[in-house]
Structure 1
Amino acid sequence: MGGLQPWNTRRAADFRTAAAANSTWIRSDLGWEYLEQTPGSWKWSLFDQVVKDTTANGMRYLAVLHTVPAWANGGVGDYGPPSDLSLLTNYCYQTVKHYLPMGVREYEIGNEVNLPHPGMTYDGVNYTTRYLKPCVAGVRKAAAEVKMPVTILGASLAPTDWTGGTDPLKFLTDAYANGARGLFDALAWHPYTGADWPAISRNMNSLPASLAAVMAANGDGAKKIWATEFGQATGGTYPWSEQDQAKLVTAALTTWYSKPFAGPLFWYSARDSGNSTTDREQHFGLLRNDGSQKPSYPVLKSLLTR
């Protein structure tokens, strides 16, 4: 579930609603561009309270490590890697060293890294050498120092159907060919289904099965694929009705958790971020913008257990 970032002025109410739905995790940023806005000055206070709110509500925090500050990469865009990769290692090290003792045990290295982003559209080679390896080195160093285990999620791949980008199967194959094996504990995938229902969607079925086959061919067959984003908008362009969104909840969870490779599925998102009639990104919530429940909320609540 999303929408619980530091800038959400209704975060306390949203957390209560998420906890009441038996949510196990929230997924949110611990973004570099926010934490180290000037070199060497760490702004932990921005996210500390969100992490404390998460644990206080009995949930875990899946942290996305991404977004490069302009001072580190010459302002090419927030996914352009720094010219000095040791800066990326240090960000991942400092962040995990601070937040692991606070209960943040799961870290996702990037978000939809195969899709176009300002500064870089990654392929498997660039991602592994210029993002995954440097960041994982920092994460593992911090975990060793504080003597606590971490779970690292690699790739955070997404379908290219609507945005273009690098084919996820080629991306993962190239990542393994360039040393990705052993760097992550699970693979992250976003099985958005577009206009299709989950039972017939390639993105929910054959494509992640093929990703699992690539993992198995590289000795990672025992590792799971986490669906770290999934949902459907009820407003903006190409909306689904609220009733169909509610039906989708059951269909998605039933389809996903029938897979032998399935790890946790994260619904995107907790609450609508706005009321625009044209921006579908504002309408993925289980709650409307005013906090009232869509029909999907009680359905998800009935399916989740802790």
Structure 2
Amino acid sequence: MIRWRGILWSIHPLFVLVMLASVMTGYFVELLTLFGIVLVHELGHVIVARGYGWTIREVKLLPFGGVAEVEDSGGLPAKEEAAVVLAGPLQNVWMGAAAWGLGQLGWWNNEWASYVVQANIMIGVFNLLPILPLDGGKMLQVLLSRWLTYHQMLLWGARISLLLSAGMVLYAFLPIIKAGGTGIQLNLLAVGIFLFMTNWTYNRNIPYLFLRFLTSRAAASTRHIVRGVWAQPIVVSKRHTVTAALRLFKRDQYHLIVVMEERGRIVAVLPEQRLVNGFLEDGKPDRAVCDLFM
């Protein structure tokens, strides 16, 4: 692990295993090239994130990309996250194009240029798979947040990622099922298991991730109020629990909580900060919304 520009950079154990396998099989130069491609891919994310003022604590490098730990990730605007996500695969586009151009000019031999082009295509395309924590999985969540609540976005992002990573594991066994198969695709199996276990843990941590989202709402609410935005109302009954109302919050929206009786009479209108603060202060998930204004 090294610290550079205030960011802790580390190599995931899965990448270490790939390194050892490459040394044993004589593909060390190819490994260094792969490492360089992954590093530049991740630097693309970091540079754009820093441009938006994000605080990045740590970046873990994997054979197919990296995972960045960002402060206040629950309160980051969707548009900014989309730009940061796309910045990684865009690095693979220019690196692949540069390798192709160097091959065409004769400055690199065609075999090596072809390898670098294919490596960039592989890393870039693989990262666009809609599986967390890949870039495609993060972009999936950005798109889901346009239609779903934040809590639903977390749930469906995890479910889709679990389903697709399980499919990747099953696909790794496909060669031995076919007649004359060559055996299990070990690389794909290892990556599939890693992604499945990562998303299994992510799914279990959704309550914590949602709590982190709520703790970031104060800063987000202040930004909305200072800038001046349309408030999106959330209509609930007095019987609604605070937790149920909070799970109706959407990303990049400022909410007013309209508490209404069954006959349609408005009992109270609460700013979202009242709801969030009421939950964070006592942490009672089953507390009724009406307790906040009685």
Q: Larger relative CO (CA 8 A, sep 6+): 1 or 2?
A: 1
TM range (shorter): under 0.3
Indicate the structure with greater helix content. Answer: 2
Bigger radius of gyration, 1 or 2?
Answer: 2
